[in-house]
Amino acid sequence: MSSPAVTEDILLEVKGLTVSYGDIRAVKNISFQVRRGEIFTLIGANGAGKSSTLRAISGLIRYSGTLSFQGENLYGVSADRIVARGLAQVPEGRGIFGNLTVMENLRLGAWLRRDRRGIREDIERILEALPRLKERLHQLSGTLSGGEQQMLAIGRALMSRARMLLLDEPSMGLAPKLIADIYRVLREIHATGTTLLLVEQNANLALRLAHRAAVLETGEITLCGESATLLASPDVQRAYLGA
Amino acid sequence: MAYFAQQAVNAISLGFLYALIGLGYTMVYGVLTMINFAHGDLFMLGAFVCLLLVTFSPVALPFPVLLILVMVIIGGLGVLIERLAYRPLRQAPRVSAVITALGCGLVISNTTLSISPYSRAMPEVFDDRYFNVLGVGVSTLQVLIIGVSLALMIGLDALIHKSRFGMALRAVAYDAGTVPLMGISVNRIISLTFLIGTGLGGAAGMLYGMSFPVISASMGILVGWKAFIAAVIGGIGNIRGAVLGGFILGTVEIFSVATLPSTYRDLISYSLLLVILIFKPYGILGRAPNIKV
């Protein structure tokens, strides 16, 4: 993979993370680390706790355990301040504001920035990379197709100039051709030096993209390691790759 | 014909007032899907704050200064009510927040009533004159009401459709859960919405008090509820709907009084609401909500 070297320093550290909804524990005491410059993926079936993990990292839900980003504890930091620290999320189901235009969605992604010129340049760059958005720039984003909305959601998260992107099932509900497009874009984003934490049900795709991975099953990490190792593992092949 | 034109002028100025109050209901509904039933009482308080300022100010305050002061004071009170009474109930069932809003309204109107049990006369804020335009009598006050309301509405429309705040406001109305992921504090947007929405209600209270110069604590219920009806007719949650609804209600009221015994006025306007809601359950410009699965 022709991308910036993965470093040894830890960008995001998850230690003993537990997320509960009432009596139900969706995530049970999980720990993993994401290194600066790498692509890390959490794979697992529906309901394994993947989205809950991302939502906890983004500060959208309550949790117990320790989350730290660039060595700073995230506990008690509100979701909007976490974005300010350089962590942006592309939420499950895209979270596009359908009543706003494509342009307005992109500008909202840059909410915390004040450098008008930089924002304009970033919008230009994102539109170059995602030409289908360019044609629909002043259209209401609710009228876009699923694939276009996913592109927009990714572009919008990039507008914050985050160090790290959290992506919640970007391939969900898309045709294979579009999924390939999305993954190509993710590779390009990573090549610019952004660290990615990718949550996927589509283990095959995610493991081929990521450096390292963890398998989440009913809220617990059952396997964690190099993606290549996991791809070759008979357990993973049987459970997630249909081998 | 001149009579008709005269009534039309009256209908327009009353319509603007209903629209101005209705905007506050509709803005809050748009972001929180909650009816702020205290809004009518804040409208009433706008008139009383104006009265207090005129009565106790050592210098005669010019109209624009009075207007801004009233808007800031009432808007600030709206922010305070949201912060203290509604925010803690944000995750509670909607009905709890609505009942709390009714309670806040009762506290405001009864506090006003205990301080001022009788109706008060609103002093003249400026020298009001009538002049004749093509046989139709128009007062400076009417011109002022129309001008100020129009300016506030155009300003609000630009704010919502052109500014950063407006963009965030529309995003919150669409999906408040995702807004924090943009780095936006939803609470700040909601506070600003209350500041502007109740500020406009305060301005309406002041203008209403000036044009119907006897003000009382019950004004919030009498007039505020009608503005709420106007917002529902137009499609609650929709800014342009509130304005349209205000004009429809103002027109119906003025012309029903002009052609029928005046006691029929409220019967007709409330019946109108029922009839419109039968055919357009979400109001004229309202749309059925997107149910997210």
The phi, psi pair for B211, rounded to 5°, reads -90, -25
**Confidence (pLDDT) at A242:** 67
For residue A131, the number of C-alpha atoms closer than 13 Å in the C-beta half-sphere is: 1
Residue of B nearest to A57 (CA): B181
Q: A109 and B182 in contact by Cβ < 8 A?
A: yes
Give the pLDDT score at A234: 85
The predicted structure's pLDDT at residue B290 = 55
Please state, in angstroms and rounded to a whole number, the distance separating the CA atoms of residues B156 and B240. Answer: 10
Which CA distances in Å does B82 have to A151, A208, B112, B238, B272?
Answer: 37, 50, 20, 21, 32
Nearest to B168 among A58, A83, A108 (CB): A108
Distance from CA of B189 to the nearest CA of A (A): 12
User: How many whole angstroms from its chain centre is CA A130?
Assistant: 18
- The first and second tokens of residue B173, run together, are 């109305």
Burial of B8 (0-12, 13-18, 19+ CB in 10 A): middle
Chain B interface with A: residues with Cβ < 8 Å: 164, 167-168, 170-171, 173-175, 177-178, 180-186, 290
Measure in Å the smallest separation between the Cα of A240 and chain B Cα atoms. 27
**CB B180 to CB A59 under 8 A?**
yes
Question: How much is the pLDDT for A5?
Answer: 64
Q: Does A21 touch chain B (CB under 8 A)?
A: no
Please classify residue A146 by burial: count the beta carbons closer than 10 Å to its beta carbon, then call 0-12 exposed, 13-18 middle and 19+ buried.
Answer: middle
Q: Work out the minimum CA distance from B48 to partner chain A, whole angstroms.
A: 39
Strands A39-43 vs A195-200: parallel, antiparallel or unpaired: parallel
What are chain A's domains? 10-240 (3.40.50.300)
Task: Report ipTM (2 d.p.).
Answer: 0.91
Sorted by where each begins, the domain ranges of chain B are: 20-216
- Beta strand A220-226 with B120-121: parallel, antiparallel or unpaired? unpaired
CB B283 within 8 A of CB B237: no
Looking at the partner chain, which of B167, B174, B182 has a beta carbon nearest the beta carbon of A98? B174
Dihedral sign from CA coordinates of B282, B287, B292, B293:
positive
> If you measure CA to CA, which chain A residue comes closest to B185?
A80
| Cβ pair B171:A108 closer than 8 A | yes
A84 touches chain B (CB under 8 A): yes
- In a mutational test of the A interface, the residue from B182, B291, B292 whose CB has the highest number of chain A CBs within 10 Å is B182
Closest by alpha carbon to A197, among A52, A39, A53? A39
Q: Which residues of chain B have pLDDT under 50?
A: 292-293
Instruction: Tell me which residue in B173, B178, B184 faces A91 most closely, judged by beta carbons.
Output: B178
Taking an 8 Å cut-off on Cβ atoms, the answer to whether A100 and B168 are in contact is no
Nearest to A80 among B173, B177, B183 (CB): B183
Q: How far apart are CA A212 and CA A34, in angstroms?
A: 9
CA gap B165, B168 in Å, rounded: 5
Q: How far is A161 from chain B (nearest CA, A)?
A: 11
pLDDT of residue B124: 83
Extract the residue ranges of chain A whose pLDDT is less than 50. Answer: 1-2
Please, are residues A196 and A35 in contact by the beta-carbon 8 Å criterion? no
Give the span between the Cα atoms of B40 and A89, in whole angstroms. 40
Q: What is the pLDDT of residue B239?
A: 85
Q: How many CB atoms are located within 10 Å of the residue B151 CB?
A: 10
DSSP reduced 3-state for B47: helix
Cβ of B181 and A89 within 8 Å?
yes
Chain B residues within 8 A of A160 when measuring between CB atoms: 182-183
Lookup result for tokens 């149910």? B291
Which pLDDT does position A4 carry in this prediction? 60
Chain-centre distance of CA A212, in angstroms?
Answer: 14
Chain centre distance of CA B60: 27
Q: Does A74 touch chain B (CB under 8 A)?
A: no
> In this predicted model, what pLDDT tens digit does every residue of A200-231 receive, in sequence order?
998 989 999 999 999 999 999 999 999 999 98
Residues of A in contact with B191 (CB under 8 A): none
Measured from the Cβ of residue B96, the count of other Cβ atoms closer than 10 Å reads 14
The minimum CA-CA distance between A232 and chain B, rounded to whole Å, is 36
Which of A124, A126, A188 is CA-nearest to residue A157?
Answer: A126
This prediction has a pTM of 0.90
Q: Give, rounded to a whole angstrom, the gap between the first and last alpha carbons of chain A.
A: 25
**Candidates B173, B174, B183; nearest CB to A83:** B183
Tell me whether residue B83 is exposed, middle or buried, using C-beta atoms within 10 angstroms of its C-beta: 0 to 12, 13 to 18, 19 or more. middle
Which residue from B181, B156, B154 is spatially nearest to B166, judged by alpha carbons? Answer: B156
Predicted pLDDT at A243: 55
Contact state of A60 with B167 under an 8 Å Cβ cutoff:
no
B87-117 confidence digits (pLDDT tens): 999 889 888 999 999 999 999 999 999 998 8
Give the model confidence (pLDDT) of B50-74 as tens digits.
Answer: 999 999 988 888 999 999 999 999 9
Residue from B164, B188, B193 nearest A104 by CA? B164
Chain B residues with beta carbon closer than 8 angstroms to that of A157: 181
